[in-house]
Structures are given as structure tokens and as C-alpha cells.
Structure 1
Amino acid sequence: MTTTPTMTPVAAFHVTGLTVRTRNRDEMDPATARIGGLWDRFFCQSWERNLPGRGEDGRIFGVYSDYESDEHGAFDVTAGVAVPPPVTSVPGAVQIAVQAGDYLVFQGHGTMPQMVIDAWGEVWRYFAAHPQVPRRFGTDFELYEGPDRVAIHIGIAPSAPRA
């Protein structure tokens, strides 16, 4: 399912949740993968329901941040919900500021977790085929629009050509 991503401006917002640090190469090996365990912990401990002050819509986000370099370096992944300002601290949780800017949005749908894996495959294929579109490597995020839909938002450098 190859689709063309859409360019969307995003205003800054905050997500509160649980975080792990990982690398893409670590996620390819079940012995070192951390993202699946992060999501298991997030849902088993009901973070999506128990975060005080969570956004009205209760949508769930996976935020990629604190990139060491590019897609080959280490980065943080936060499973959480958007929280409105003022952002207050939550014991055991972290807060991530999602950067404002232009994002390319890739749509995925199907059965979890394969739909997310397939959608990230589309992201990687797109950037391999379009090296003139530079990623920002500031914040990227997955917005879960239901149990079988995800919109992956990839931050684009301000000088990037329009998709």
C-alpha cells in the first residue's frame, strides 16, 4: 500500500507518558527491542486513562525525540497522551514538547502492530527515494486514530521542498 504523504503544519503541543531509549537496529532484534515493551507497560498500567489533565479527545501518541543523529542513532520513544497547558508533572511519567513545524504525514491501517511496522516501512522507502526532502530529527510522532489506524508525522526541515 504505497500512498503519497501529505504536508501538514503542526502547532507545538505536549505529550505526557512513558519513555524508553532505543535504536532502529535494536528494534530489529526481539532480544534488544524496547518499543513493544513500552507499549505493553503503557496499556497494562492504564496510563492512557489515568493521566490527569489529559487532552479532551484522549488520543494516544508515540513521540520520537532526542535524536542522537539520524535514523541510525539512538532516540527516545514516548507512549502517551496530549496534555493541555499548563503542563504539570506526573509521578513516573515524562513530558515531551512536540515541535511546531511542517510534518509529512503517512497513513497506516490494519491490524496492530503490523500496520505500524508497514507504515514505518513506507516512511523509510519515501525518504530513500526522496533525498531532497530533509528530515528535521527534532520530534516525530505517531497519532493513533483508533485501534486500526495510525498517522505517522515526520518533521521536515524548514527549507524542505513541498511534497
Structure 2
Amino acid sequence: MMTSPFSTHMGAFSVAGLSVRTRNSDEMNPATARIGDLWERFFSQSWERSLPARGAADDRIFGVYSGYESNEHGAFDVTAGVAVPPPITPVAGAVQVNVQAGHYLVFVGQGEMPQTVIEAWKDVWRYFAQNPHVKRRFGTDFEVYTGPDKVAIHIGVLD
């Protein structure tokens, strides 16, 4: 069952971590999917502990979607990482992405991962199909994980 998103305004911030370029059509095929492997590498190599986090109190993990080629059908970058204070000292092998300030719709999910994230993204796609007057920005979108079974997907929208 789809829950209604809520609206929020976010300030800009930066995330550092590992990144891949993909497209939604590639993610539907296990032979070409890249996002699952990205998260596997992120956690198996303990990147969340080796990156200069914003502070000890901020243990959230982020998945940032950026570099959109066009829309949900084009290629985009996904970065698994942690929020970092500007400027950061580069970490070998890590990339930094800047999340845009602006208006976001937030879709919340709770339950077993990764199924909860998959279901929350289905809610995102369903919402925009049912609300064509709400326009996505396709600048930056992000997932924030506040616990092992909680995710909030932030979708940038035009004001």
C-alpha cells in the first residue's frame, strides 16, 4: 500500500563514497544491474567507517542519485556514502557528490532491506504516474538510511 509523501525543503550538503553509472532498464536485469553490487562493496569494504563523516552523531548512510542524462529512462550516477563536511580531504577511491538545495518529496519505508527500498521506489514511480502535474527536477535525489530497516527517499521536485 502506497503512503503519501510529505514535502520538505533541504539545504545543500555533500556525500562521499563509491559510485556507479547505470539506468533503470539495466537495474531490471540481474545480469546488468549495478546498484546491488555497489552497496555490497560499500558495506563489505567498510566505507562507512573510512570516510570523514560529518560528525560522530551522524551515522546515516546515503544513496545519492545524480548526473541524470535526461529523466527516469536515461543514465544516472548512484553514490553510496556518508554526509561529509566541506571541504573534505579526498579519500582514495571515493567520489564526492553535492546534493542540491531545494524542494523534495519524501517517501518513507520501513521493513526488511532491500525489499523495503524496492517497494518505496515503486511508490515513487506510482506517485508520479498518478500526479503528472508534479514535476521531478532530475538534479539530485537521495535515499537516507536511519537504521537497518528504515529508509526515506527524497525526490527533488520543481517549485
State TM-score, norm by structure 1: 0.95
Q: State the partner residue of 2:112.
A: 111
Q: State the partner residue of 1:55.
A: 54
1:95-106 to 2 correspondences below 5 Å: 95-106=96-107
CA distance in 1, matches of 2:61, 2:93: 18
- Identical positions, percent: 71
Q: Is the 1:14–1:87 contact (alpha carbons within 8 Å) kept by the matching residues of 2?
A: no
Deviation at 1:87, TM superposition (A): 2.4
Q: State the partner residue of 1:6.
A: 6
Deviations 1:20-72 (A, max 9, x none): 00000000000000000000000000000111x21221210000000000000
Name the amino acid aligned to 1:8: T
Q: Is the 1:106–1:123 contact (alpha carbons within 8 Å) kept by the matching residues of 2?
A: yes
The answer on 1:74 being equivalent to 2:75 is yes
Secondary structure, in 3 states, of the residue corresponding to 1:107?
A: strand
Deviations 1:132-161 (A, max 9, x none): 000000000000010001000000012xxx
CA distance in 2, matches of 1:13, 1:90: 18
CA distance in 1, matches of 2:155, 2:89: 26
Deviations 1:93-113 (A, max 9, x none): 000000000000000111010
Deviations 1:112-137 (A, max 9, x none): 10000000000000000000000000
Secondary structure, in 3 states, of the residue corresponding to 1:38?
A: helix
CA distance in 1, matches of 2:98, 2:148: 24
Select between 82-91 and 15-24 the one with higher mean Cα deviation. Answer: 82-91
Q: State the partner residue of 2:35.
A: 35
Q: State the partner residue of 1:161.
A: none
Deviation at 1:89, TM superposition (A): 1.5
Pairwise CA RMSD:
0.7
CA distance in 2, matches of 1:15, 1:27: 22
Q: Is the 1:48–1:81 contact (alpha carbons within 8 Å) kept by the matching residues of 2?
A: yes
Unaligned runs of 5+ in 1: 159-163
Unaligned runs of 5+ in 2: none
Deviation at 1:88, TM superposition (A): 2.5
Secondary structure, in 3 states, of the residue corresponding to 2:128?
A: helix
Q: State the partner residue of 2:26.
A: 26
Q: State the partner residue of 1:151.
A: 152
Matched residue count: 157
Q: State the partner residue of 2:136.
A: 135
